[in-house]
Amino acid sequence: MGSYKIAVLPGDGIGPEVVAEAVKVLSIVGKKFHHSFDLRYADFGGAAIDSSGVPFPPATQEVCMSSDAVLFGAVGGPKWDTLDPAIRPEKGLLALRKAAGAFANLRPAKLFSELADACYLRPDIVANGIDILVVRELIGDVYFGEPSGIEVRDGERVGFSNMIYAEHEIRRVAEVAFETAMKRGKRLCSVDKANVLAVSRLWREVVTEVAKGYPEVELSHMYVDNAAMQLVRNPAAFDVIVTGNLFGDILSDEAAAITGSIGMLPSASVGGANTPGLYEPVHGSAPDIAGQNLANPVATILSLAMLLRYSLNLSAEADAVEAAVAAVLAKGYRTGDIYRDGMKRVGCTEMGQLICDAV
Protein backbone atom coordinates (compact mmCIF):
# COMPACT_ATOMS: atom_id res chain seq x y z
CA MET A 1 0.00 0.00 0.00
CA GLY A 2 1.51 3.29 -1.10
CA SER A 3 0.75 6.93 -1.56
CA TYR A 4 1.72 8.68 -4.78
CA LYS A 5 1.45 12.10 -6.34
CA ILE A 6 0.53 12.11 -10.01
CA ALA A 7 0.41 15.30 -12.08
CA VAL A 8 -2.43 15.05 -14.60
CA LEU A 9 -2.31 17.30 -17.68
CA PRO A 10 -5.31 16.59 -19.90
CA GLY A 11 -4.30 19.16 -22.56
CA ASP A 12 -6.31 19.72 -25.75
CA GLY A 13 -8.43 17.95 -28.35
CA ILE A 14 -8.99 14.32 -27.39
CA GLY A 15 -6.45 14.72 -24.56
CA PRO A 16 -9.07 15.33 -21.83
CA GLU A 17 -11.24 12.46 -23.13
CA VAL A 18 -8.53 9.80 -23.11
CA VAL A 19 -6.95 11.04 -19.87
CA ALA A 20 -10.34 10.81 -18.13
CA GLU A 21 -10.50 7.09 -19.00
CA ALA A 22 -6.95 6.48 -17.77
CA VAL A 23 -7.82 8.25 -14.51
CA LYS A 24 -10.87 5.97 -14.13
CA VAL A 25 -8.57 2.97 -14.52
CA LEU A 26 -6.10 4.45 -12.02
CA SER A 27 -8.80 4.86 -9.39
CA ILE A 28 -9.84 1.20 -9.82
CA VAL A 29 -6.18 0.16 -9.47
CA GLY A 30 -6.00 2.27 -6.29
CA LYS A 31 -9.04 0.51 -4.81
CA LYS A 32 -7.97 -2.96 -5.82
CA PHE A 33 -4.36 -2.67 -4.64
CA HIS A 34 -5.00 -0.25 -1.74
CA HIS A 35 -2.91 2.66 -2.98
CA SER A 36 -3.76 6.30 -2.67
CA PHE A 37 -3.14 8.41 -5.75
CA ASP A 38 -3.13 12.15 -5.24
CA LEU A 39 -4.18 13.47 -8.66
CA ARG A 40 -2.95 16.98 -9.28
CA TYR A 41 -4.59 18.52 -12.33
CA ALA A 42 -2.96 21.42 -14.17
CA ASP A 43 -3.51 23.38 -17.37
CA PHE A 44 -1.20 22.61 -20.25
CA GLY A 45 -0.88 23.42 -23.95
CA GLY A 46 -3.69 25.30 -25.61
CA ALA A 47 -5.81 25.07 -22.45
CA ALA A 48 -3.03 26.89 -20.56
CA ILE A 49 -2.64 29.50 -23.30
CA ASP A 50 -6.37 30.22 -22.92
CA SER A 51 -6.18 30.50 -19.12
CA SER A 52 -2.80 32.18 -18.64
CA GLY A 53 -1.27 33.12 -21.98
CA VAL A 54 1.54 30.55 -22.05
CA PRO A 55 1.51 26.81 -22.83
CA PHE A 56 3.52 25.68 -19.77
CA PRO A 57 2.81 28.13 -16.92
CA PRO A 58 5.03 28.20 -13.81
CA ALA A 59 2.18 26.78 -11.69
CA THR A 60 1.97 23.74 -13.98
CA GLN A 61 5.72 23.31 -13.89
CA GLU A 62 5.65 23.33 -10.08
CA VAL A 63 2.89 20.70 -9.96
CA CYS A 64 4.84 18.48 -12.37
CA MET A 65 8.23 18.77 -10.71
CA SER A 66 6.83 17.99 -7.23
CA SER A 67 5.00 14.86 -8.45
CA ASP A 68 6.18 11.26 -8.72
CA ALA A 69 5.12 11.09 -12.36
CA VAL A 70 3.25 13.07 -15.00
CA LEU A 71 0.38 11.70 -17.06
CA PHE A 72 -0.72 13.77 -19.98
CA GLY A 73 -2.96 13.63 -23.01
CA ALA A 74 -2.07 15.72 -26.02
CA VAL A 75 -1.69 19.36 -26.95
CA GLY A 76 -2.49 21.59 -29.88
CA GLY A 77 -5.25 22.17 -32.38
CA PRO A 78 -6.40 24.52 -35.12
CA LYS A 79 -7.50 27.13 -32.56
CA TRP A 80 -3.88 27.92 -31.68
CA ASP A 81 -2.20 27.28 -35.05
CA THR A 82 -2.14 30.97 -35.97
CA LEU A 83 -0.32 32.05 -32.79
CA ASP A 84 3.29 33.14 -32.76
CA PRO A 85 5.36 29.91 -32.91
CA ALA A 86 7.03 30.87 -29.63
CA ILE A 87 3.81 30.40 -27.65
CA ARG A 88 2.15 27.54 -29.51
CA PRO A 89 0.87 24.60 -27.43
CA GLU A 90 3.59 22.32 -28.81
CA LYS A 91 6.21 24.58 -27.24
CA GLY A 92 4.72 23.65 -23.87
CA LEU A 93 5.43 20.00 -24.54
CA LEU A 94 9.02 20.73 -25.50
CA ALA A 95 9.42 22.88 -22.37
CA LEU A 96 7.97 20.17 -20.12
CA ARG A 97 10.33 17.55 -21.55
CA LYS A 98 13.22 19.94 -21.11
CA ALA A 99 12.22 20.80 -17.51
CA ALA A 100 12.01 17.11 -16.65
CA GLY A 101 15.36 16.47 -18.31
CA ALA A 102 13.59 13.61 -20.08
CA PHE A 103 16.04 12.90 -22.86
CA ALA A 104 14.88 9.40 -23.80
CA ASN A 105 11.48 8.60 -25.25
CA LEU A 106 10.51 4.93 -25.10
CA ARG A 107 7.89 3.96 -27.63
CA PRO A 108 6.85 0.34 -27.73
CA ALA A 109 5.24 -0.76 -30.99
CA LYS A 110 3.69 -4.09 -30.18
CA LEU A 111 1.03 -5.82 -32.22
CA PHE A 112 -1.65 -7.33 -29.98
CA SER A 113 -2.41 -10.73 -31.49
CA GLU A 114 -6.14 -9.85 -31.22
CA LEU A 115 -5.51 -7.00 -33.68
CA ALA A 116 -3.44 -8.88 -36.24
CA ASP A 117 -6.34 -8.45 -38.66
CA ALA A 118 -6.03 -4.65 -38.38
CA CYS A 119 -2.36 -4.64 -39.34
CA TYR A 120 -1.57 -3.11 -42.72
CA LEU A 121 1.13 -5.64 -43.53
CA ARG A 122 0.82 -8.97 -45.34
CA PRO A 123 -0.24 -11.86 -43.08
CA ASP A 124 3.02 -13.76 -43.70
CA ILE A 125 4.97 -10.74 -42.42
CA VAL A 126 2.66 -10.25 -39.42
CA ALA A 127 2.91 -13.94 -38.55
CA ASN A 128 6.46 -13.35 -37.31
CA GLY A 129 5.11 -10.90 -34.72
CA ILE A 130 5.85 -7.22 -34.17
CA ASP A 131 7.38 -6.19 -30.87
CA ILE A 132 9.67 -3.20 -31.32
CA LEU A 133 10.80 -0.55 -28.89
CA VAL A 134 11.94 2.73 -30.40
CA VAL A 135 14.23 4.76 -28.14
CA ARG A 136 14.05 8.29 -29.49
CA GLU A 137 16.35 11.05 -28.26
CA LEU A 138 13.98 13.75 -27.12
CA ILE A 139 15.54 17.05 -26.18
CA GLY A 140 18.21 17.66 -28.80
CA ASP A 141 18.54 17.56 -32.58
CA VAL A 142 17.11 19.90 -35.18
CA TYR A 143 14.11 20.78 -32.95
CA PHE A 144 16.35 22.73 -30.60
CA GLY A 145 19.44 23.46 -32.68
CA GLU A 146 20.39 27.10 -32.89
CA PRO A 147 20.73 29.14 -34.97
CA SER A 148 17.42 28.56 -36.69
CA GLY A 149 15.04 30.92 -38.39
CA ILE A 150 13.86 32.47 -41.61
CA GLU A 151 15.73 35.44 -43.02
CA VAL A 152 16.23 37.24 -46.27
CA ARG A 153 19.47 36.44 -48.09
CA ASP A 154 20.26 37.77 -51.54
CA GLY A 155 16.71 39.01 -51.91
CA GLU A 156 14.91 35.75 -51.08
CA ARG A 157 13.70 34.09 -47.89
CA VAL A 158 15.90 31.35 -46.53
CA GLY A 159 14.80 28.94 -43.78
CA PHE A 160 17.33 27.05 -41.70
CA SER A 161 17.34 24.64 -38.77
CA ASN A 162 20.42 23.19 -37.20
CA MET A 163 20.81 19.46 -36.61
CA ILE A 164 23.27 19.31 -33.74
CA TYR A 165 24.23 16.70 -31.13
CA ALA A 166 26.90 16.86 -28.47
CA GLU A 167 28.74 13.68 -27.57
CA HIS A 168 27.20 13.46 -24.07
CA GLU A 169 23.67 13.73 -25.49
CA ILE A 170 24.30 10.76 -27.78
CA ARG A 171 26.04 8.72 -25.09
CA ARG A 172 23.30 8.99 -22.48
CA VAL A 173 20.48 8.01 -24.82
CA ALA A 174 22.60 5.16 -26.20
CA GLU A 175 23.08 3.92 -22.64
CA VAL A 176 19.32 3.89 -22.04
CA ALA A 177 18.90 1.97 -25.30
CA PHE A 178 21.55 -0.65 -24.43
CA GLU A 179 20.11 -1.08 -20.92
CA THR A 180 16.65 -1.56 -22.43
CA ALA A 181 18.00 -4.01 -25.01
CA MET A 182 19.58 -6.04 -22.18
CA LYS A 183 16.07 -6.52 -20.71
CA ARG A 184 14.60 -7.51 -24.06
CA GLY A 185 15.97 -9.41 -27.06
CA LYS A 186 19.52 -8.02 -26.78
CA ARG A 187 19.44 -6.62 -30.31
CA LEU A 188 19.93 -2.90 -30.90
CA CYS A 189 19.73 -1.11 -34.24
CA SER A 190 21.08 2.44 -34.32
CA VAL A 191 19.50 4.55 -37.05
CA ASP A 192 21.21 7.57 -38.63
CA LYS A 193 22.07 9.16 -41.97
CA ALA A 194 25.84 8.89 -41.67
CA ASN A 195 26.35 8.76 -45.42
CA VAL A 196 25.42 12.44 -45.75
CA LEU A 197 25.21 14.08 -42.30
CA ALA A 198 28.25 14.96 -40.21
CA VAL A 199 26.14 14.87 -37.05
CA SER A 200 25.21 11.28 -37.90
CA ARG A 201 28.86 10.28 -38.28
CA LEU A 202 29.42 11.41 -34.69
CA TRP A 203 26.24 9.58 -33.62
CA ARG A 204 27.55 6.34 -35.11
CA GLU A 205 30.99 6.77 -33.51
CA VAL A 206 29.60 7.42 -30.03
CA VAL A 207 27.04 4.59 -30.16
CA THR A 208 29.83 2.22 -31.23
CA GLU A 209 31.91 3.37 -28.24
CA VAL A 210 29.03 2.81 -25.81
CA ALA A 211 28.54 -0.68 -27.29
CA LYS A 212 31.90 -1.76 -25.81
CA GLY A 213 30.22 -1.73 -22.38
CA TYR A 214 27.48 -4.09 -23.59
CA PRO A 215 29.19 -7.05 -25.28
CA GLU A 216 26.02 -9.16 -25.00
CA VAL A 217 24.00 -6.77 -27.14
CA GLU A 218 24.19 -7.26 -30.88
CA LEU A 219 24.54 -3.76 -32.38
CA SER A 220 23.76 -2.89 -35.98
CA HIS A 221 23.65 0.45 -37.82
CA MET A 222 21.13 1.39 -40.47
CA TYR A 223 20.46 4.49 -42.56
CA VAL A 224 17.10 6.03 -41.81
CA ASP A 225 15.73 5.57 -45.32
CA ASN A 226 16.53 1.85 -45.21
CA ALA A 227 15.09 1.58 -41.69
CA ALA A 228 11.83 3.13 -42.89
CA MET A 229 11.68 0.45 -45.58
CA GLN A 230 12.70 -2.48 -43.38
CA LEU A 231 10.06 -1.56 -40.79
CA VAL A 232 7.35 -2.45 -43.29
CA ARG A 233 9.19 -5.28 -45.07
CA ASN A 234 10.47 -7.20 -42.09
CA PRO A 235 9.53 -5.66 -38.73
CA ALA A 236 10.43 -8.87 -36.90
CA ALA A 237 14.08 -8.03 -37.64
CA PHE A 238 13.92 -5.24 -35.05
CA ASP A 239 14.06 -5.46 -31.28
CA VAL A 240 15.25 -2.08 -29.95
CA ILE A 241 15.90 0.90 -32.25
CA VAL A 242 17.82 3.96 -31.03
CA THR A 243 17.81 7.15 -33.01
CA GLY A 244 17.75 10.94 -32.86
CA ASN A 245 14.77 13.19 -32.26
CA LEU A 246 13.74 13.86 -35.87
CA PHE A 247 14.26 10.34 -37.27
CA GLY A 248 12.67 8.92 -34.11
CA ASP A 249 9.61 11.10 -34.54
CA ILE A 250 9.05 9.70 -38.01
CA LEU A 251 10.03 6.06 -37.40
CA SER A 252 7.95 5.76 -34.25
CA ASP A 253 4.88 7.02 -36.12
CA GLU A 254 5.63 4.49 -38.85
CA ALA A 255 6.03 1.69 -36.32
CA ALA A 256 2.75 2.89 -34.82
CA ALA A 257 0.98 2.66 -38.14
CA ILE A 258 2.06 -0.90 -38.91
CA THR A 259 0.69 -2.13 -35.59
CA GLY A 260 -2.76 -1.05 -36.74
CA SER A 261 -3.63 2.08 -34.84
CA ILE A 262 -1.87 5.03 -33.40
CA GLY A 263 -4.64 4.91 -30.79
CA MET A 264 -3.04 1.82 -29.21
CA LEU A 265 0.48 3.08 -28.54
CA PRO A 266 1.86 4.39 -25.24
CA SER A 267 5.10 6.18 -24.54
CA ALA A 268 7.37 7.08 -21.66
CA SER A 269 9.89 9.91 -21.48
CA VAL A 270 12.58 9.32 -18.91
CA GLY A 271 16.15 10.06 -18.04
CA GLY A 272 16.26 13.05 -15.70
CA ALA A 273 17.80 12.58 -12.27
CA ASN A 274 15.24 13.29 -9.50
CA THR A 275 12.64 14.46 -11.98
CA PRO A 276 9.34 12.74 -12.76
CA GLY A 277 8.91 10.43 -15.76
CA LEU A 278 6.44 11.68 -18.36
CA TYR A 279 3.79 9.37 -19.78
CA GLU A 280 1.66 10.13 -22.81
CA PRO A 281 0.05 8.44 -25.78
CA VAL A 282 2.07 8.54 -29.01
CA HIS A 283 -0.84 10.13 -30.86
CA GLY A 284 -1.60 13.83 -30.98
CA SER A 285 -4.68 15.82 -30.08
CA ALA A 286 -6.65 14.50 -33.09
CA PRO A 287 -8.82 17.60 -33.54
CA ASP A 288 -10.76 15.80 -36.30
CA ILE A 289 -12.40 13.45 -33.77
CA ALA A 290 -12.26 15.54 -30.57
CA GLY A 291 -15.40 15.85 -28.48
CA GLN A 292 -17.22 13.00 -30.24
CA ASN A 293 -16.44 10.10 -27.90
CA LEU A 294 -14.58 8.41 -30.78
CA ALA A 295 -11.02 8.40 -29.47
CA ASN A 296 -9.33 5.18 -28.49
CA PRO A 297 -8.22 5.57 -24.84
CA VAL A 298 -5.99 2.46 -24.90
CA ALA A 299 -2.77 4.35 -25.76
CA THR A 300 -3.24 6.52 -22.68
CA ILE A 301 -4.27 3.58 -20.49
CA LEU A 302 -1.15 1.67 -21.59
CA SER A 303 0.87 4.83 -20.86
CA LEU A 304 -0.58 4.67 -17.37
CA ALA A 305 0.63 1.05 -17.16
CA MET A 306 4.14 2.23 -18.10
CA LEU A 307 3.87 4.94 -15.41
CA LEU A 308 2.97 2.33 -12.79
CA ARG A 309 5.82 0.09 -13.92
CA TYR A 310 8.66 2.56 -14.47
CA SER A 311 8.02 5.52 -12.15
CA LEU A 312 6.20 3.84 -9.24
CA ASN A 313 7.69 0.33 -9.46
CA LEU A 314 4.21 -1.20 -9.31
CA SER A 315 4.66 -4.05 -11.76
CA ALA A 316 1.74 -6.22 -10.59
CA GLU A 317 -0.54 -3.21 -11.03
CA ALA A 318 0.92 -2.50 -14.49
CA ASP A 319 0.43 -6.16 -15.46
CA ALA A 320 -3.20 -5.98 -14.32
CA VAL A 321 -3.87 -2.97 -16.54
CA GLU A 322 -2.19 -4.52 -19.59
CA ALA A 323 -4.00 -7.82 -19.08
CA ALA A 324 -7.31 -5.95 -18.81
CA VAL A 325 -6.67 -4.27 -22.18
CA ALA A 326 -5.89 -7.61 -23.82
CA ALA A 327 -8.99 -9.20 -22.24
CA VAL A 328 -11.29 -6.47 -23.55
CA LEU A 329 -9.79 -6.77 -27.05
CA ALA A 330 -10.17 -10.55 -26.88
CA LYS A 331 -13.89 -10.09 -26.17
CA GLY A 332 -14.17 -8.19 -29.46
CA TYR A 333 -14.65 -4.62 -28.24
CA ARG A 334 -13.19 -2.02 -30.60
CA THR A 335 -13.14 1.75 -30.93
CA GLY A 336 -13.63 3.08 -34.47
CA ASP A 337 -9.93 3.28 -35.30
CA ILE A 338 -9.47 -0.49 -34.80
CA TYR A 339 -12.97 -1.59 -35.77
CA ARG A 340 -13.49 -4.53 -38.13
CA ASP A 341 -16.69 -6.24 -39.31
CA GLY A 342 -18.16 -8.55 -36.70
CA MET A 343 -16.57 -6.72 -33.77
CA LYS A 344 -18.42 -4.74 -31.11
CA ARG A 345 -18.05 -1.03 -31.73
CA VAL A 346 -17.69 1.14 -28.61
CA GLY A 347 -16.81 4.75 -27.86
CA CYS A 348 -14.05 6.20 -25.72
CA THR A 349 -15.95 6.14 -22.41
CA GLU A 350 -17.32 2.62 -22.96
CA MET A 351 -13.84 1.31 -23.78
CA GLY A 352 -12.49 2.90 -20.60
CA GLN A 353 -15.29 1.39 -18.52
CA LEU A 354 -14.78 -2.08 -20.00
CA ILE A 355 -11.09 -1.93 -19.11
CA CYS A 356 -11.97 -0.76 -15.57
CA ASP A 357 -14.35 -3.70 -15.22
CA ALA A 358 -11.67 -6.10 -16.46
CA VAL A 359 -9.14 -4.78 -13.95
Catalytic residues: 143, 193, 225, 249, 253
Instruction: Tell me the pairing of strands 104-110 and 131-137.
Output: antiparallel
The binder of ligand ATP chosen from 283, 314, 325, 356 (CB under 6 A): 283
Q: Does 263 help bind ligand ATP (rule: CB under 6 A)?
A: yes
Residue 57 vs 263, nearer CB to ligand ATP: 263
Site string for ligand ATP, 15-54 (x = CB under 6 A): ---x------------------------------------
**Least distance in Å: CB of 284 to Mg ion?**
5
Among 38, 62, 288, 357, binds ligand ATP (CB under 6 A): 288
Find the shortest distance in angstroms from Cβ 81 to ligand ATP.
Answer: 11
Q: Is 91 exposed, middle or buried (0-12, 13-18, 19+ CB in 10 A)?
A: buried
Nearer Cβ to ligand ATP (200/243): 243
Nearer to Mg ion, 260 or 284 (CB): 284
Closest approach of Cβ 86 to ligand ATP, in Å?
A: 17
Binding track, positions 289-328, relative to ligand ATP; x by CB under 6 A: x-----xx--x-----------------------------
To ligand ATP, the closest distance from the beta carbon of 243 in angstroms equals 17
Nearer to ligand ATP, 75 or 188 (CB): 75
As measured in angstroms, the least distance from the Cβ of 254 to ligand ATP is 12
355 touches ligand ATP (CB under 6 A): no
In the complex with ligand ATP, which residue's Cβ is closer, 6 or 262? 262
**Where do contacts with ligand ATP occur on this chain (CB under 6 A)?**
14, 18, 74, 76, 262-263, 283-286, 288-289, 295-296, 299, 337
